[in-house]
Structure 1
Amino acid sequence: MTEGAELIGQAMARFAAARLWAAHRAPYLATAVFALNPVVLEPYLDDRTGRPVPDAEFRAFPADTRWNVHVDTGTALATPVEEIGWWLLHQVGHLVRAHAERSPAAEPHRWNQAADAEINDDLEAEGLPGPAGVISPAALGLPPNRMAEEYVPMLDVLDEAVGRGGRALSEALDCGSAADGVGRAYEGSGGGLGDLDRELLERSIAAGIQDRIGARSEVPAGWRRWAEERLRPKVDWRARLGAVIRRGLSSAAGRVDFSYRRPSRRAGAHPEIVAPAMVRPVPGVAVVIDTSGSVTEPRLDQLLTELTGILDGVAGPNRRLRVICCDVAAHPVQEVRRAADVRLAGGGGTDMRAGLAAATALRPRPDVVIVLTDGQTPWPERRVAADVVVCLIGEDGHAPEWAAAVRVPKEDRS
């Protein structure tokens, strides 16, 4: 075996060890980590020592869109196994989240940094801080759980401020075409995964993440969001909200009861006995509005308008609606006919348990309770005494398992 072949073998051994480390630290991404195809580059040897020299261009173990990871021999031999494993998880983030497809045509370097911020945020949440010089949302004081598109303008502002002090925002790291979609000279024309292979792989990864969530295992928020979007086709939230509410109202209206307010028209064997009639009551609806500081008033106004239109179509425009504003406590109930009549009260923390308790304590008790919230709240552990529809604003919150839920994008420009 030649010396060059031996060095390449040592680099591949470190890559294999790093892959095992990465799969152990983030088991929900193990399938993706083992799908990476290492492409080992010919080592550059020092003229004096004959040892391979690390190439800074390949510090991030750059990947291309076909899931090839380009391994510089000198870099692999000089990098700790744990750090190589971290970069493999990082590259999986670029590939699975389709950063190359999402990349804007201009400023690929800034997009690479923003995509790094989106990925590294979840790695840090997993207890895996990045190597020195990488973008860290937490270290830069940026908000967590944002998309790369949201981080771009934030990094522009920070870069301008930091640049005045003569420093760089981060090191000039290149993650390859997997991050920005721009081909590199070292990338070959073949090998790696095809379109169908990538599609099946991503669905398998998303299903595995959903299984872990169902088993109550910890998965970072960004990966939860990705898996949910990957497995569920996007639908018009207005149509889904209307369907869920109508189904709840229909179910409540189907609960027939006996009433003497309208005696039965069928005479029995004993005419002197007045029999009750079967009635189909109009279902009662209460709305609990999250008025904590994290939910904006214009967004609530829009949702209330949508809600009013849905309820008018089901039960007519003249019915009255009971509304409870809630932050950490429930505020007094309001009876209104239109969304514009609601007076929002609150602005502190969030505890929808108080709002649901107040709604189910109303008399007559509502059949359906509709909750408008960002989901950043504790929920009752058990089902409450009414059907509950949770309208989730944004991507980060959650609804209880026993409630019907509709997720509404925080920014909806339609």
Structure 2
Amino acid sequence: MNADGPRTPAYEEAVRVRIATARLRAAHQAPYLASAVFALNPVILEPALDEDTGAPVADPGFRAFPADTRWNLYVEPGTALAAPVEEVAWWMLHQVGHLVRGHAARSPVRPEPGHEAGHAAGDVRDEEAHRWNQAADAEINDDLEAEDLRGPAGVVSPTDLGLPAHRTAEEYVPMLDVLADAMGRGGQALAEAIDCGSAVDGQERTYADSASGEGLTQLDRELLERSIAAGIQDRISARSEVPSGWRRWAEERLRPSVNWRARLGATIRRGLSTVGGQVDFSYHRPSRRAGAYADIVPPSMVRAVPDTVLVMDTSGSVGNDVLNRLLAEVTGIIDGVAGPNRRLRAFCCDVHPHPVQVVRRPSDVELVGGGGTDMRAGIAAAMALRPRPDLVIVLTDGETPWPEQRPAAQVVVCLIGDGGHAPGWASVARVPADVPWRVPAKGES
């Protein structure tokens, strides 16, 4: 340290120039996102230096210029100096997409207690977090491609993978699961493992400690998003080109009605498809090729319909009217996947589970109970059933203790209202406390 303070490393000025140049390029390429690009707060990390030259060495774990939910953009000097300006600009627009689309808030991945800051770039994350990152990438990369902005090698591209464009991350997750499984059997990876930071999944990384207290406040983010949405609407009114994903986002942002039905449906359908995609042989229906065999009747392949159990929180904090309306939603979704009029087993649970009910329609459920809440008892009762369920759907306000260990079945928690919480091992869909009555589909009772 000299009299004028600590010396700025020689590489830092070059990094700042590279970031400033890339920022201008990104704003020019997508002017409707210019304010978002300039709102990014670059945080220059401590690099690894070459022992001989003293120059920063690129770290592949930071190739995506990861961001956090406070709009801090983490810049690893070696990576920034090695990447072309065009690539840095592309990653800036990519990270803006994660931030503005709210991927961290929508993420199905939740930090485990005591591990909120457990990820560093390059760490191996659990499969669900990795898949969500890829699905969120797919949601925003097709909009970049619509602007003729092709991503660097190795990124997820719906076009290159043969997937439909203009879908949400929630819709891309099951598609990528199927595609990754098929490609894995052929010894081919779906895409490179790229970590976009907590901006995509809400799980803090260890390197984010260097930006403690920096970035945008919640109010800053709200005002910025409304400004971006208004700007996009102005461009649409002036008949300027805006990718369809950003058009949809701006419309929803300025008319903030969360499509909770789509989120609930995607979450339940994903749980059903996870356990229903398994196949087995059955003699109930002989194979169509039976004629090719003289004295043998070969079995055919069948797909099992997932056995689903509903656990309903009937404590004093959850009204029967809300439960009745939510039951209509949930059973309508299940009917769409498993077929209409399928028998469901259902528990009402307050502190203790009440006797199991076997129903065909939501109106058949008798809501009983009141008092305290303990969903541990309800889930335990569901898992004790024989045959054991494949999927357990819990309807609750979340003001309850939860099992510490993940049950053997898939669990979907429908959180009613803005409070409460769900365990990290469950899939979660939050629904409003004033659930409107569902309009039955044609042919439904």
TM class, shorter-chain normalised? 0.5 to 0.7
Find the aligned partners of 2:81 and 2:8 in 1 and give their Cα distance.
13
- Does 2:94 correspond to 1:73? no
Q: Give 1:197's aligned residue.
A: 220
Find the aligned partners of 1:41 and 1:234 in 2 and give their Cα distance.
39
- Does 2:14 correspond to 1:7? no
Q: Give 1:112's aligned residue.
A: 133
Q: How does 1:338-353 map to 2 (within 5 A)?
A: none
Give 1:101 shift.
Answer: 0.3
Amino acid at match of 2:162: G
- CA deviations 1:90-111 (Å, max 9, x no partner) are 0000000000000002711100
1:142 pairs, out of 158, 163, 187, with 163
- CA deviations 1:335-373 (Å, max 9, x no partner) are xxxxxxxxxxxxxxxxxxxxxxxxxxxxxxxxxxxxxxx
Q: Give 1:42's aligned residue.
A: 46
Find the aligned partners of 1:102 and 1:211 in 2 and give their Cα distance.
27
Give 1:189 shift.
Answer: 2.4
Find the aligned partners of 2:52 and 2:62 in 1 and give their Cα distance.
22
Find the aligned partners of 1:172 and 1:123 in 2 and give their Cα distance.
20
- Does 2:225 correspond to 1:181? no
Q: Give 2:402's aligned residue.
A: none
- What's the secondary structure of 1:186's corresponding residue? helix
2:178 pairs, out of 157, 173, 189, with 157
- Does 2:137 correspond to 1:103? no
- CA deviations 1:32-85 (Å, max 9, x no partner) are 000000000112101122221001111000000000000000000000001000
Find the aligned partners of 1:13 and 1:218 in 2 and give their Cα distance.
30
Give 1:413 shift.
Answer: 11
- What's the secondary structure of 1:234's corresponding residue? coil
The structure-2 alpha-carbon separation of the partners of 1:162 and 1:68, relative to structure 1 and needing over 3 Å to count, comes to same
Q: How does 1:292-307 map to 2 (within 5 A)?
A: none
Q: Give 2:255's aligned residue.
A: 232
Find the aligned partners of 2:31 and 2:232 in 1 and give their Cα distance.
9
Q: State the 4+ residue runs in structure 1 displaced beyond 3 angstroms.
A: 1-4
Give 1:5 shift.
Answer: 1.7
- Does 2:137 correspond to 1:133? no
- What's the secondary structure of 2:9's corresponding residue? helix
Find the aligned partners of 2:172 and 2:8 in 1 and give their Cα distance.
42
- What's the secondary structure of 1:110's corresponding residue? helix
Find the aligned partners of 2:6 and 2:53 in 1 and give their Cα distance.
16
Unpaired runs of at least 5, structure 1 = 237-411
Give 1:132 shift.
Answer: 0.2
Find the aligned partners of 1:6 and 1:173 in 2 and give their Cα distance.
29
Amino acid at match of 2:186: G
- What's the secondary structure of 2:257's corresponding residue? coil
Q: How many residues align?
A: 240
Name the larger-Rg structure: 1
RMSD of Structure 2 on Structure 1 (CA): 2.1
Find the aligned partners of 2:40 and 2:86 in 1 and give their Cα distance.
17
The answer to whether the 8 A contact 1:61-1:175 is kept is: yes
Find the aligned partners of 2:63 and 2:137 in 1 and give their Cα distance.
14
Find the aligned partners of 1:174 and 1:97 in 2 and give their Cα distance.
17
- What's the secondary structure of 1:18's corresponding residue? helix
Find the aligned partners of 1:167 and 1:413 in 2 and give their Cα distance.
46
- What's the secondary structure of 2:43's corresponding residue? strand
- What's the secondary structure of 1:135's corresponding residue? coil
Find the aligned partners of 2:221 and 2:214 in 1 and give their Cα distance.
13
Find the aligned partners of 2:93 and 2:231 in 1 and give their Cα distance.
16
- CA deviations 1:1-47 (Å, max 9, x no partner) are 99862201101100000000000000000000000000001121011
2:65 pairs, out of 24, 48, 61, with 61
Find the aligned partners of 2:175 and 2:33 in 1 and give their Cα distance.
28
The answer to whether the 8 A contact 1:4-1:43 is kept is: no
